[in-house]
Amino acid sequence: MLDYETLKFVWWIFVGLLLMGFAITDGMDMGVGTLLPFVARKDVERRIAINSVGPHWDGNQVWFITAGGAIFAAWPAVYAAAFSGFYMAMLLVLFALFFRPVGFDYRSKIENPTWRNAWDWGLFAGGAIPALIFGVAFGNLLQGVPFRLDELLRSHYQGSLLTALLPLLNPFALLAGVISLAMLAAHGGVWLQLRASGAVADRARKAVLLLSPIVAVAFALAGVWLWLGVDGYRIVKEAAHSAASNPLAKEVVRAPGAWLDIYAKQPLAMIVPALGLVGPLLTMLLAAVHRPGLAFVTSAFGMIGIIGTAGLSMFPFIMPSSIDPRSSLTIWDAASSELTLTVMFWAVVIFLPIVLGYTVWCYANMWGRVTADEIEARAHSAY
């Protein structure tokens, strides 16, 4: 049986894996939606792009739902504080995501160009807006969120709902948003190069050649900015990791470059940001020589590197506070009870392999390029 301290660390890994799984699978769908108006110009071409993800998008979104549920159950204090600090951003993401299920299901129901074009832009919004906001959220986490905890551990957010969104759109956060948007769009482009055919695949390839270097350059720039221009957080005194969760039992200071401490202490950790930098560049090269299968793998590893870099740099912080560093939430002092983490751990051990197996089976049985002939042969299908 795992002890409480180990369970807290394991759940940090689990949540990270869920976010990576969401980025690789549903991020692919959002990337296709983002590129849809640009790589597919005719109706049949847009149906090719949509059908490349149509059978899988709702299953892929389960990763996002599961990650949210895992955060709620494993780190309830983080869940509560995040809904205060990012309430308007979350609503914007939610409203944008509304376009996806109705867009996929209703777009091809009526053979009207205006109707279909409107839903195509709806699918674009449902892909691009969440991709941008997710990056902006990570950029703000790295700078700290304006909340504090009182003596009863109740979260208090500094700001109002009407003004909550504008402070989130600061330059560093927008740079993180560009990384996220370009990363997911490039990933979707690789998928289209792999699964689509004809002009759609060719235009998707060009999109990957454009977006992948943007991801690499923006990621490198964010790293330099994090080093020189963003104060990190450092714990100078804390309670035992196996103790009951109490965020106010520690002392935290802010210091320039503190987010890079882990790379000085553990040089092997540099492998992760290196993966985030090299992955997009390899993806660009492989896409250029028409190897989309390998490009999809390197794109996935690049995403793992970028998301993993954010997680490692902040470790053990989950949600730092910019107005009261002591209130910052970490994996050690924001976790649920030992019993809750234990029960959830065994649920993951049992059900995650089943979900992964079913996902692989679905992709294997629905594999193949989507062609114009196939689309025209089933003009009245769902997509």
Q: What average pLDDT score do residues 21-27 get? A: 89
Confidence class of residue 379 from pLDDT cuts 50, 70 and 90? low
| Most confident of the following: 79-93, 101-115, 216-230, 356-370 | 216-230
Q: What average pLDDT score do residues 23-46 get? A: 90
For the ranges 26-30, 220-224, 279-283, the lowest mean pLDDT is seen at: 26-30
| Per-residue CA distances from 378 to 48, 104, 140, 372 (Å) | 12, 16, 46, 10
For the ranges 58-72, 234-248, 360-374, the lowest mean pLDDT is seen at: 360-374
Whole-model pTM?
A: 0.91
pLDDT in tens, 257-301: 899 999 989 999 999 999 999 999 999 999 999 999 999 999 999
pLDDT surpasses 70 at 382: no
Query: Rounded to the nearest 5 degrees, what angle is found at the Cα of 27, between the Cα atoms of 119 and 174?
Result: 90
Q: What is the pLDDT of residue 208?
A: 96
Q: What is the pLDDT of residue 37?
A: 92
pLDDT in tens, 4-13: 999 999 999 9
Domain definitions of the chain by residue range: 4-377
Beta strands in the chain (DSSP E): 147-149, 155-157, 231-237, 251-256, 317-319, 329-330
Q: What is the pLDDT of residue 159?
A: 66
pLDDT in tens, 124-177: 999 999 999 999 999 999 998 888 888 888 887 776 555 556 677 889 999 999
- How many whole angstroms separate alpha carbon 85 and alpha carbon 156? 9
* DSSP H/E element including 177: helix 171-195
Q: What average pLDDT score do residues 305-324 get? A: 93
pLDDT in tens, 171-211: 999 999 999 999 999 999 999 999 888 889 999 999 999 99
- How many whole angstroms separate alpha carbon 352 and alpha carbon 270? 29
Q: What is the pLDDT of residue 45?
A: 87
Q: What is the pLDDT of residue 269?
A: 92
Pairing mode, strands 231-237 and 155-157: unpaired
| Per-residue CA distances from 194 to 14, 85, 366 (Å) | 29, 39, 13
Tell me phi and psi for residue 281, to 5 degrees. Answer: -70, -40
pLDDT surpasses 80 at 66: yes
Pairing mode, strands 317-319 and 329-330: antiparallel
What does pLDDT average to over the chain?
88
Q: What is the pLDDT of residue 243?
A: 80
| Per-residue CA distances from 238 to 8, 106, 144, 368 (Å) | 15, 54, 19, 54
Q: What is the pLDDT of residue 77?
A: 87
Q: What one-character DSSP code corresponds to residue 253? A: E
Q: What average pLDDT score do residues 59-84 get? A: 84
